[in-house]
Amino acid sequence: MIEEPPQLMIRRSFPRPTDAQIDAFRDVPTGFVCDAMAGRGALDSAIRPVAPEHELRCRAVGVALVAENGPAEILATMGALHIMQRGDIIVAAQHGGRNCSAAGDQFCGMMKNKGAGGFVTDGEMRDVEGIIEVGLPAWCSGLSANSPYSNGPGRVGFGAVVGGRHIESGDLIVADRNGVVTIPFQQIDAVIAALAAVREAESALEQKVGAGRADMPAIEAMLEDGRAILID
């Protein structure tokens, strides 16, 4: 028999990206970030903006503050709000919980009041009209009107699996209409360095497509050397 865990564990101190590291991703599309990480880094595609672009602009870059809740729980998210720093993105793990809101408009209002950069959850949200009015960028897996509990146990400032990827507090979050991408703290500088080549390649291809390019040289090469065949 194990002892009952505390209702809430909060860790304040963890490595954080510098302002310069965060600013390096301010206007970078999530697709570029994934390209700089060998095509990976995005959370499950079920996690998407809570509202359409014309109703709520969902774009955020900031430090992940992970709130590890259980299904239908919000206590850890409350703890995250208590210790968050301006610009943080609260990441609420619900461990696959469904049919219950992970946050609503009033909680989003409190996060906005405290300076949160955004909110990400693998759970659902509610009060979407109020969230739009608040204006906090938010990503979730759907909508549910059901209310969560605040009994715990929960952990804040550690890590959790969210949307198929392990996120540690202190990792960097880049999110837009295309999804949510997480950059491990130890890889931030390497990804920044790789972005230069990604931008250059994307710019070159954009110019070619704009000029009318529609061919696939790679396919032509495969047909020529036998890796691909045409069947008429």
Over residues 128-141, the pLDDT tens digits come to 999 999 999 999 99
Q: What is the DSSP letter of 215?
A: -
pLDDT digits 0-9 by tens, 115-129:
999 999 999 999 999
Residue in the block written with tokens 């699996």? 161
Q: What is the DSSP letter of 128?
A: H
For the beta carbon of residue 229, count every other beta carbon within 10 angstroms: 7
209: pLDDT strictly greater than 90: no
Whole-number pLDDT of residue 37: 95
Whole-number pLDDT of residue 1: 66
202: pLDDT strictly greater than 80: no
Instruction: Of 3, 172, 151, give the one whose Cα is nearest residue 76.
Output: 151
Using CA atoms of 61, 105, 51, 78 in order, give the dihedral in degrees to the nearest 10: 40
pLDDT digits 0-9 by tens, 5-60:
899 999 999 999 999 999 999 999 999 999 999 999 999 999 999 999 999 999 99
Interval 218-224 mean pLDDT? 89
Percentage of the chain modeled with pLDDT above 70: 98
Whole-number pLDDT of residue 216: 84
pTM of the model: 0.91
104: pLDDT strictly greater than 90: yes
82: pLDDT strictly greater than 80: yes
204: pLDDT strictly greater than 70: no
Interval 139-149 mean pLDDT? 96
Whole-number pLDDT of residue 205: 67
Residue in the block written with tokens 């206590």? 75
211: pLDDT strictly greater than 80: no
